[in-house]
Amino acid sequence: MGRLDGKVAVITGASSGFGLAMAKLFAKEGAKVVGADINPQMPEIAAEIAGDVVGIVADVSKQEDVDAMYALCVEKFGKLDILCNNAGISGPRARMHEYPLEAWDKIFNVNVRGYLMVMQGGLKLMLENGKGSIVNTASVGSFKATPGSPAYIASKGANAMMTKQAAAEYVKDNIRVNAVCPGIFNTGIIDGMSEELRKFLDSQIPMGRIGEPEEMANFALFLASDEASYITGQCYLIDGGRDAM
């Protein structure tokens, strides 16, 4: 038996990186999965995942796309047990006084407003279901400044507090809300980096290497499952020991 047998999960940002790793693992553990992503290949990617998985093209910054994502979930599977609120963007690098406002607005539109809309829709279905588990993807940047990334860092700080706020508001409704906060992982954000830069990043991590998406997915699985039934309102750093040093 799988750890998520009988569960229905919605995962945003599911075409690559953390989202794809979670979609594969959750399906393997018995969940029925709706994978959503702005990537137009999302339905084809979902079809290649072993298990009961459907994909939908959705931009989490657009209310109509978020609504369509949940409509598909209800149509296909009838309920929602788990939400992995994972979609996000990083944006250009510049110091705060030089940061382009249009880039700031775009990042907040996806990473904060989009997170809210995704949580709102998920919470409504979980309230109907009488229970649920939300796993937000925040960041080590929720707690640690990175010069040159003011919009991303501020948005991820907001994600951490949105997690705690939702946990406090819905704990009496049997809905748990937690966040995973990854450090540097082998996802699209480091595509195109030189081997020299990769080695430098490895050297900054006490474990001596960048994390793999599957390692974060394993912890998201635990938080999503009934094994974490006494955990809510927590934000967990997953960074190879970087924050401890």
The residues annotated as belonging to the active site are 152
Detail the DSSP E strand segments found in 86-210. Answer: 132-137, 175-182
User: Which H or E run contains 167?
Assistant: helix 150-170
What is the C-alpha end-to-end distance of the chain, expressed in Å? Answer: 40
> Taking a C-beta distance cutoff of 8 angstroms, is the pair 193, 26 a contact?
no
> Taking a C-beta distance cutoff of 8 angstroms, is the pair 77, 56 a contact?
no
Tokens encoding 57: 């093209």
> Taking a C-beta distance cutoff of 8 angstroms, is the pair 193, 210 a contact?
no
Tokens encoding 134: 């939300």
H helix count then E strand count, the chain = 8, 7
> Taking a C-beta distance cutoff of 8 angstroms, is the pair 26, 4 a contact?
yes
- 166-to-116, 170, 233 alpha-carbon distances in Å: 10, 6, 8
Strand partners, 86: none
Residue with tokens 């990769």: 198
